[in-house]
Amino acid sequence: MALEVRSLRPGSVRRQQRRDMNRSRAAEKTLRNLTGHREERDLNESLTEHPMQLENEIAIVTGAAQGIGREISLSLAREGALVVIADITQQGLMQTAEMISKNYGSKPKIIPTDITQEDQVANLIQHTLVIDNRIDILVNNAGVSGPIKNIEDISFEEWEATMAVNLCGMFLCCKHVVPVMKKQKKGNIINLSSMTGKRPMVQRTPYATTKMGVIGLTRTLAQEVGKWKIRVNALCPGAVESPRLTKVLEAIRQQSGKSWDQVVGEMTEESALKCLVDPKYVCAMVVFLCSPNGTMITGEDINISAGLVMY
Ligand SMILES: NC(=O)c1ccc[n+]([C@@H]2O[C@H](COP(=O)([O-])OP(=O)(O)OC[C@H]3O[C@@H](n4cnc5c(N)ncnc54)[C@H](O)[C@@H]3O)[C@@H](O)[C@H]2O)c1
């Protein structure tokens, strides 16, 4: 497929375009009621007039075809970053690209990539370097849920498939981006772990193992590359309103025979704030960590869980 690279425009023009777009979109609310517990809200509701925090940064987001990865890609673009979006699902990537263009006026670079394949990860890095010979941000977001079963019912193939994406794929992306970031003496890597990276979740042994592994990878790599001013952090979201959560809740509902409201209620009941996590707060943390405000933060595993996990 043809790879598109936007031409970078002067910040002032883009800021003006953004202001115009915000005004015209004020009445154009986007219904994102994914769980049935969500009010209608504007995609840009958190967008206030402020200087773009990541202007001209080059950022790769894996798993950007839907869900949290799509939202992170939109947020990075909103902050002025040139986003390179990667996923195995090409159609979803096109949709994400369209949303970025429509909302923020920039064209992301689309690089279809299976992160479990080392040659494809190397290709992702090489094609990103074509833009301006640098990579400022890598968001390792791609992930799979893995089987929801008792351990004795999980096949070795299911176990391996979960490891392949959630851990091995993340390893490959880190391995190939670090030499670039070392040369620059600058870089931000953000790894999506989960609340399940900290506390057990019954019938999710492969997923929990990978997400706990992500924290080990994050801390160790942060220590290893800190002297090159590369920062590595993990995010541990709770139950984020997303297509994936809808699928997981539906599976729980079918297995338990409970109603949808009961299943959602039980999940939120455990959190201090009694709610699911709006993905915009995961995005806000990504932007914060990549901005100068995050300069002294590395090796952390940061909960964004509405108080579901507090350690
Ligand atoms: N949704 C939640 O409640 C939640 C909570 C905590 C953590 N997380 C983590 O956040 C990340 C995103 O979650 P989500 O809910 O948006 O998931 P999602 O399933 O909606 O999106 C994941 C994306 O990763 C892509 N992907 C899968 N395998 C890939 C591969 N081999 N190569 C490239 N891309 C691949 C998928 O095509 C998909 O677009 C995951 O790592 C997940 O574990 C999600």
Q: What are the chain's domains?
A: 51-239+278-304 (3.40.50.720)
Q: Which residue has the higher pLDDT, 15 or 177?
A: 177
Q: Which residue has the higher pLDDT, 52 or 192?
A: 192
Which one of 73, 75, 106, 193 is the catalytic residue?
A: 193
16 alpha carbon – ligand 1 mean position (Å): 34
CA distances from 17 to 103, 106, 152, 200, 295 (A): 10, 11, 56, 46, 30
239 alpha carbon – ligand 1 mean position (Å): 13
Which one of 106, 194, 198, 211 is the catalytic residue?
A: 211
Q: Would you place residue 40 in the very low, low, confident or very high pLDDT band (cuts 50, 70, 90)?
A: very low
**Per-residue pLDDT averaged across 157-178, rounded?**
98
Q: Would you place residue 251 in the very low, low, confident or very high pLDDT band (cuts 50, 70, 90)?
A: confident
Confidence at residue 9, expressed as pLDDT on a 0 to 100 scale: 45
Locate the ligand 1 atom nearest the alpha carbon of residue 66 and give its number.
Answer: 39
The residues lining ligand 1, judged by C-beta closer than 6 Å to any ligand atom, are: 62-63, 65-69, 87-89, 92, 113-116, 141-144, 165, 169, 192, 194, 237, 239-240, 242-245
Listed in sequence order, the residues at least 6 apart from 126 whose beta carbon sits closer than 8 Å to its beta carbon are none
Confidence at residue 244, expressed as pLDDT on a 0 to 100 scale: 82
Q: Which residue has the higher pLDDT, 36 or 265?
A: 265
Pocket test for ligand 1, best of 242, 246, 301 (most atoms within 8 A of CB): 242
